[in-house]
Amino acid sequence: MKPDYIVPGIHRVYARIGSRDLFEGIWPIEHGVLLNSYVVQGENATAFIDLVKDWEGAVGEVEKQLESLGLSFSDIDYLVLNHMEPDHTGSLSELCRKNPTMQILCTKKAVPLVKAFYGVTEQVRAVASGDTVDLGGKTLVFEETPNIHWPETMMTFVPEDGILFSCDAFGSFGQYDHCFDDELTDEEWELLIPETERYYANIVSSFSQFVTRGIEKLSGLDIKIVAPSHGIVWRKNPQQVIAHYQRLARYMNGPAEPEITFVWSSMYGNTAALIDDIRQAIEEEGVTVHMHEVPAEHASHVLASAWRSSGLVVGMPTYEYRMFPPMYHILDILERSHLNNRKVMRFGSFGWSGGAQKQFDPFIASLKWDCAGVVEYQGAPTAEDRKHAREVAKQLALRVKEWVG
């Protein structure tokens, strides 16, 4: 692989990570992910923005790309750490051994993390919003953007070229053969949009209020290029990804899209017996339904679907007086991500005793969900249960349509 030329003096150096591992140890990356770092060469100094960890040979790949630019890690004067998560800092100890004189620039909150994660205390300098570093014809301007998505996060802006190095913000899952938005094929666009939304839902969603605040802080910058640490570089239409993130952030408290995510589990088919009745009743009202069976499908995809949906159908049986465990995991993920203010319904079978609803009710209260109804029955559903389920599903669809407008 070769480094990508962005503007004179600025290049992307990167690594392609495959689908073998889970991102953050949780999220599947069926289409892989990109780790992007950036080199900014001024007349007097060189800065390296965000590292990679030694994941599938990423460090060696970045070194090779640096060599093709006539550089090595020892030539770096400033290392900018926008965010301390190890996928962007994992090779810090190695780099410090190769280049003990470079200055490490990070926020005040990041300084103790540099020590805690890597034992590095020398040459670490805290920067704050508005601080600058003059590289000679290239200026680094720092803007603290806390909780996008760790408290110590910042972004780095080069005003001469209008480039915003945004680290995890405005990123996506997936590998792309082309670096820039104006180079992508139709197939790459078909991958990029859903993988951007899944990345947001999985990684950033619980910090949506901070995303909104961060974008407001950045509104005064003349941003011509957005260069994140995962995914593509946006040079033709950087406002497209910024606006997309703004919209995704608003989904936290709804309304989102006029769609319903239908997530269900069934032990012996009695809960599953109502699926077609409920789905058909919703679709008859003209509302799109996204179907997800758990635990067959990973929570990553359920969360991404639920995040963009204004409605939620939860189907699960009672299991030993409580929720079916795979569904409890899904609801825990939705709660952690602050999937607030959705229109919902629940249905499910029980054997000798119910009990799942007692665990479901606290999620309704915590997330301020508007519950259209519950259809719970012993054993197999009766004709009356089917009729009730269709009525509740129709009411759910109507509430979603009315809310979204």
Q: Are 156 and 299 within one domain?
A: no
Judge if 114 and 147 occupy the same domain.
yes
Q: Is the CB of residue 59 less than 8 Å from the CB of residue 151? A: no
Provide the pLDDT for residue 66.
97
Where is the domain boundary, 183, 217, 250?
A: 250
What's 316's DSSP letter?
A: -
> Does 157 share its domain with 198?
yes
The answer on 269 and 235 residing in a single domain is: no
* Judgement on whether residues 318 and 240 belong to the same structural domain of the protein: no
Q: Counting Cβ atoms within 10 Å, is residue 94 exposed (0-12), middle (13-18) or buried (19+)?
A: middle
Q: Which domain covers residue 11, as residue numbers?
A: 4-250
Residues 244 and 263 in one domain: no
Q: What is the CATH number of the domain that holds 365?
A: 3.40.50.360
384 to each of 380, 389, 396, how far by Cα in Å? 11, 9, 18
Q: Write down which residue in 203, 227, 250 finishes a domain.
A: 250
68 with 181, same domain?
yes
Q: Which of 230, 250, 270 is at the close of a domain? A: 250
Instruction: Provide φ and ψ at 381, rounded to 5°.
Output: -70, 140
Predicted pLDDT at 269? 97
User: What pLDDT is stored for residue 55 in this prediction?
Assistant: 95
* Structural domains counted in the chain: 2
Q: Name the token pair of 248.
A: 């995704």
Q: Are residues 196 and 102 in the same domain?
A: yes
Per-residue pLDDT of the chain (405 residues; tens, 9 = 90+): 999 999 999 999 999 999 999 999 999 999 999 999 999 999 999 999 999 999 999 999 999 999 999 999 999 999 999 999 999 999 999 999 999 999 999 999 999 999 999 999 999 999 999 999 999 999 999 999 999 989 999 999 999 999 999 999 999 999 999 999 999 999 999 999 999 999 999 999 999 999 999 999 999 999 999 999 999 999 999 999 999 999 999 999 999 999 999 999 999 999 999 999 999 999 999 999 999 999 999 999 999 999 999 999 999 999 999 999 999 999 999 999 999 999 999 999 999 999 999 999 999 999 999 999 999 999 999 999 999 999 999 999 999 999 998
Residues 116 and 29 in one domain: yes
Question: What pLDDT score does 300 carry?
Answer: 98
- 129 and 273 within one domain: no
Q: Are strands 257-264 and 22-23 parallel, antiparallel or unpaired?
A: unpaired
Q: Do 318 and 344 share a domain, yes or no?
A: yes
| Residues 237, 271 within the same domain | no
Mind listing the pLDDT tens digit for each residue in 198-224?
Answer: 999 999 999 999 999 999 999 999 999
Q: Where residue 246 sits, what CATH number does that domain have?
A: 3.60.15.10
- What sign for the dihedral angle of Cα 153, 108, 127, 80? negative
